[in-house]
Structure 1
Amino acid sequence: MSVSFRAVGLVLTLPILTLAISPAVTHAVLPVSEDPASASIRSLDNGLTAIMKGGKAMGFAGRAAQIGPVVDQVFDIPAMTRLSVGPAWTSMTEGDKTALIMAFRRSTIAQYAGNFDGWSGEVFTIDPKVETRGSDRLVKTVLKAPKGNPTQLAYRLRQSGGSWRVIDIFYQNSISQLATRRSDFARIVSIGGAKALIAHLDQLSAKAAR
C-alpha cells in the first residue's frame, strides 16, 4: 500500500468528524525559520522519513524504538489523552489516568511504526507560514509521493514545558484527530469506563504491529 495513504492511518483509525481549522479571527504569520513550532514538526518529519527508509529491514519493533523518542519530544501525550477523553477524565482515578496516558502513547508510536513502513521517494514539505490560533500555533505540511495525490497534514501545537508540542492533527486541513477520538472514546468510556478504553488502545497497538 502507498505510504501516502498509510501515513494518514493515525488520523483515520477512528470515525471521521470534520472541523474547520480557520476561525474568523486575524492570525499572525511568522517565517518558518523564526518559529520553534516548525522545528518540532521538522523533527517529526525527519523521524518519519528515517523509519520509512528503514522500512522492512528495521522491522516493526525497530521502527517503533526509533520513532518513540521523537513522539515523546514532539507530542504532548498527557494533554492529548486528557483532551481526547473529554469530561470523563475528571472523574477517573489517578491510576486510570496514568494507564490511559501510557496506552495512548503506545498506540501513537505503534500506528506511526505500522503505517510508515516503507519509502519510495516520499517527501515532507513544511509550509513557511506558521499561523497562530489564540495561544496555539498551526504548522501545515504536505506529504508528496511520486504517485498519487499529496496528503495535507496540519499540526496544532501548544507550549508545554518550554517547548512547542502537538495537541491535534488535521488531515487534509479539516479532519480533527482530537474530535474523532473524543467521539469514539466517549462511547467506549460510557460502556466500560477507563479500562475498556485502555483495552481499545492496546488493540489498536496490536493491530498496527501486524
Structure 2
Amino acid sequence: MGVYSDSLQQTLTCIVASVVIVVCLGVWSAAASEPAQAVVERFDSLLLTTMKQGEQLSFDDRYDKLAQRIDQDFDIRRIARHRLGDRWSQLSKDKRRGYTARLRESLIARYAHTYNHYAGQRFDICGLRSLGRDSRQVEVALIDSHGMRRVTRYTVARDAGEWRVVGVSPATGFSGPETARLMPRDTPKALFGGLERRLEGGPRV
C-alpha cells in the first residue's frame, strides 16, 4: 500500500510539473510573439514596484529608477520629433538636442511625480493593435481598488531589431508647437521635485 501511494504521489507530481511547464512555455511564447506588449508590461511592472515603494523612495530615487528603464525602452528623440511635427525640421541640431534632453527629463519626472503611491492598483493590457509590420499600439489600463480605469496608449515600433516606445497618449511631459521656446531652463527633475513638495497631501494615483 505504501509503495502504491508513493507511486501515485510521484505520478501526480510529474503531471503537475508538466502542466506548469506547458503553461510557462505558453506565456513565454506569447511574450516572444508580441515583443511590443512585453516592452510595455516591463515598464508597467517597474511603475508598480515604484508605487509600492513610494513611502520609502524620494522623488529623486523614483526618478533615477525610472530613468534607467526609459532610456532603454523609449526612443525619446523620435517622440520629440513627432511632438514638434514640422517645427522639428526648422530647429538647429543644437536646439533639437536640447529639446530632446529636456523632454526626456520632463517625461521621467512626470512619471516619478505621478506614480508615487500604492493603494491596490494594478495594470492590465486592454488592447493591442497592429499599426503595420513594425509598429503596434498597446493600451494599458491602471485600475484602482474601486475599479476606476486610467488608460494610456503606447505606440511601440521596431528599429534595427529593437522594440521601443515611440509615442505616449495622453502625452506625458511638455508638448506643443512652442515647447522649445517655452521650456524652462530649470531641469524638470528639480521642477517636479518642488511641485511634489507643494502638492504634498494632494490627490495621488
TM-score of the superposed pair, with normalisation by structure 2? 0.71
Structure 1's consecutive aligned runs of 4 or more residues displaced over 3 angstroms after TM superposition are 202-207
What secondary structure does 1:47 align onto? helix
Residue of structure 1 equivalent to 2:36: 37
Residue of structure 2 equivalent to 1:158: 157
Residue of structure 1 equivalent to 2:183: 198
Q: Which letter maps to 1:158?
A: A
Q: Distance in 2 between matches of 1:73 and 1:79?
A: 14
Fraction of identical pairs, as percent: 25
Contact 1:120 1:145 in 2 (8 A): yes
| RMSD of Structure 2 on Structure 1 (CA) | 2.5
The number of equivalent residue pairs is 165
The CA deviation string for residues 80-103 of structure 1, in whole angstroms up to 9 with x for no partner, is: 011111111112111111111110
TM-score of the superposed pair, with normalisation by structure 1? 0.70
List alignment gaps of at least 5 residues for structure 1: 1-30, 172-176
The CA deviation string for residues 53-102 of structure 1, in whole angstroms up to 9 with x for no partner, is: 11031110000010001111221100001111111111211111111111
Q: Distance in 2 between matches of 1:151 and 1:80?
A: 21
Residue of structure 2 equivalent to 1:116: 115
List alignment gaps of at least 5 residues for structure 2: 1-29, 197-205
Q: Distance in 2 between matches of 1:59 and 1:77?
A: 24
The CA deviation string for residues 130-179 of structure 1, in whole angstroms up to 9 with x for no partner, is: 321124201121111102511222211111342111122234xxxxx39x
**Which structure is richer in relative contact order (CA contacts within 8 A, separation 6 or more)?**
1
Q: Which letter maps to 2:192?
A: A
Deviation, 1:207, is: 4.1
Contact 1:131 1:139 in 2 (8 A): yes
Q: Distance in 1 between matches of 2:55 and 2:108?
A: 16
Q: Which of these two proteins has the greater Rg computed from alpha carbons?
A: 2
